[in-house]
Structure 1
Amino acid sequence: MSSNIQIRLSIMMAFIASTYSLCAASIDNRHVFCASDSTKIDTFPIPKGVDNLLFYIQRDPNTNTICYTLNLNKSGELNTANPINAFWIRYPEGGARKDLNFIQRKFAYGITAKKNNDGTYDVRSVAYNKLPLTLKKDSNGRYHIYTDISNKESVLERIFIRIGDGGTFWAPDVKYIELKGVDVKSGRRIIDRFKP
């Protein structure tokens, strides 16, 4: 991993203070990993009432969630210069919504979006730009974020970041990143994880 990516991951993980033990449960012949022995990742709150939600990020040690939404202008058209907004939902604070601060936008949870000639957008995380994401319309004209999950083109729904016991404040031990979405061809929910 390049030192630049490692620094950005370190800054992103600096917001994560503690970890939980790992366990697994089989759901639909897939493994869903637990945040603790009694709390499954899939029991984390799913953002509700978020207009134009594309996907969200959750991570140890709490349920605070970063939401990524379409950035539409007053007439309902996509802002082509800045097509995606990001903000927190602070569930432990009663579900309050808060903007990302400068460090979070620039080094941890921000994203870049570059328009392609075909009208799609190449979207990358500022912390981990090796994961290609694409903002594009589906056959009904609705925008989604697409990525490969288990080598299948999928509509991304959630990213979960698991932190291990080792590491330091500036260089945490990222155990894995889990992607959850819907397989475009089959319509089935799909989950995969990888170590960055």
Structure 2
Amino acid sequence: MNRLLLICLLIINCLVSLGQDNYPTPTRMDGVLFYIQHNRGKNTYIYSLNYKSDKTINKDEPIQVYRQLFDNGGVIRPLTIIQKNFAYGIYSKLLKNKSYEASIVSLPEQKLFLHFPSKGDPYVSTTVAGTSFILKRIFIRQKDGTSGLSTKVDYILFYGVKDGKPLVKKLVL
């Protein structure tokens, strides 16, 4: 039984990694909460803490989103209006416990929570398939033959950490 489980886990791990060979990591990781990549290029959408000029968190918009264009030399740019309003933008609201509930505009049902622990760095958590974990990155597998505002998604992989161990959760849409 253990051998069969090990073989199944190995196969799943190989399949999960097939869609993401040679994907870059953002070059500036200070304040990064998580990032999103997809199968249509290596450009990366980065979600990081939004600091004001006095080095405190912007309480109205605690998470800022920008993109690193690895398909164009790694230059960092803001989101376009369409990306912000229809795909990668983020909404957030302050909760009573001084954390935030947030969601990405194109996936509003997937709740994200920004936490500010008394010790350690701020982090984002989410729940997929009944498992809560700290979110590190997301990979979106877009359907072939779809693009622009009519882009459809095959699945989303959520990479994170639970109890100090890495995990991957798959959301099929």
Query: Which of the five TM-score ranges fits, normalised by the shorter chain?
Result: 0.7 to 0.9
Distance 2:14 2:117 in 1: 26
Q: Which one of the candidate residues 56, 61, 70 is aligned to 1:91? A: 70
Alpha carbons 2:86, 2:149 under 8 Å: kept: no
User: 1 or 2 for the larger relative contact order (CA 8 Å, sep ≥6)?
Assistant: 1
Residue 170 of structure 1, CA deviation: 4.5
Partner of 1:34: 18
Q: What is the total number of aligned residue pairs between the two structures?
A: 166
Partner of 1:52: 31
Matched, 1:192 2:147: no
Paired residue secondary structure (1:123): strand
Residue 32 of structure 2 aligns with an amino acid whose one-letter code is: L
TM-score using structure 2 length: 0.85
Alpha carbons 1:30, 1:191 under 8 Å: kept: no
Superposed CA offset, 1:52-72 (max 9, x none): 000000012110000011001
Residue 110 of structure 1, CA deviation: 0.1
For the structure 1 residues 152 and 120, does the alpha-carbon distance in structure 2 shift closer, same or farther, using more than 3 Å as the test? same
Distance 1:75 1:27 in 2: 49
Alpha carbons 2:45, 2:66 under 8 Å: kept: yes
Residue 48 of structure 1, CA deviation: 2.8
Identical-pair percentage: 32
Residue 47 of structure 2 aligns with an amino acid whose one-letter code is: Y
Distance 1:117 1:153 in 2: 20
Q: Which one of the candidate residues 61, 66, 83 is aligned to 1:82? A: 61
Q: Which one of the candidate residues 135, 138, 142 is aligned to 1:159? A: 138
Distance 2:16 2:61 in 1: 34
Q: Over aligned residue pairs, what C-alpha RMSD do you find? A: 2.4
Where in structure 1 are there 5+ consecutive unaligned residues?
1-24, 36-40
TM-score using structure 1 length: 0.76
Where in structure 2 are there 5+ consecutive unaligned residues?
1-8
Residue 118 of structure 1 aligns with an amino acid whose one-letter code is: N
Alpha carbons 1:149, 1:181 under 8 Å: kept: no
Superposed CA offset, 1:37-81 (max 9, x none): xxxx15311113232000000012110000011001122211001
Alpha carbons 2:94, 2:100 under 8 Å: kept: yes
- For 1:79-158, list aligned pairs within 5 A: 79-158=58-137
Alpha carbons 1:149, 1:180 under 8 Å: kept: no
Residue 100 of structure 2 aligns with an amino acid whose one-letter code is: Y
For the structure 1 residues 154 and 94, does the alpha-carbon distance in structure 2 shift closer, same or farther, using more than 3 Å as the test? same
